[in-house]
């Protein structure tokens, strides 16, 4: 009986350390990124919006700051009404989670097909985000993405 109790305590302590050091299964900002990628590829505005807290702030490439659900929805409505998302990917991403907060950063590539021309355009850039666990699920509370600078700007 004592051995079983010790084994149980050791297992709980190891599991706690595993989660606390960020080695838990996909959680936090990474989980939101997975949901956002799926929603974007499906061109599903409602699914995209489920990735954001009602009071989130988003700075998306080429758009003014969007504060709150209504403004963020309007930004994505503008994007999706003019374009079809052909592909989107995240690379070189890193995540850190502590308690109910999680941060993520990395690079993205977004291929859009403008509805007016039909010629695909790919934008690359970088992102930084903060997610929070609310009501048992992770959502973005801050989403900041910016397009890569043009080569001439990068050389300055």
Stated pTM of the model? 0.81
Residue 51 lies in a domain: yes
Number of H helices, E strands in the chain: 5, 6
Residue 144 lies in a domain: yes
21-46 pLDDT per residue, tens: 444 446 999 999 999 999 999 999 99
Average pLDDT, the chain: 87
What residues make up the domain containing 102?
Answer: 25-155
Residue 3 lies in a domain: no
88-104 pLDDT per residue, tens: 999 999 999 999 999 99
**CA–CA separation, 30 and 144 (whole Å):** 15
Number of folded domains that form the chain: 1
Where does the pLDDT of residue 153 fall: very low under 50, low under 70, confident under 90, or very high at 90 and above? low
Residue 10 lies in a domain: no
Residue 5 lies in a domain: no
């Amino acid at each position: 009986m004592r051995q079983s109790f010790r084994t149980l305590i050791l297992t709980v302590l190891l599991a706690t350390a595993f989660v606390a050091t960020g080695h838990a299964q996909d959680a936090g900002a990474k989980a939101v990124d997975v949901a956002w990628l799926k929603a974007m590829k499906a061109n599903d505005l409602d699914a995209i919006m489920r990735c954001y807290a009602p009071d989130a702030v988003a700075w998306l490439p080429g758009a003014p700051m969007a504060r709150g659900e209504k403004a963020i929805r309007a930004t994505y409505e503008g994007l999706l009404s003019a374009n079809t998302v052909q592909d989107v990917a995240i690379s070189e991403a890193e995540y850190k989670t502590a308690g109910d907060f999680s941060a993520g950063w990395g690079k993205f590539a977004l291929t859009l097909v403008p509805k007016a021309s039909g010629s695909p355009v790919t934008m690359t850039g970088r992102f930084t985000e903060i997610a929070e666990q609310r009501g048992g699920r992770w959502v973005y509370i801050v989403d900041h993405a910016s397009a890569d600078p043009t080569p001439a700007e990068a050389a300055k």
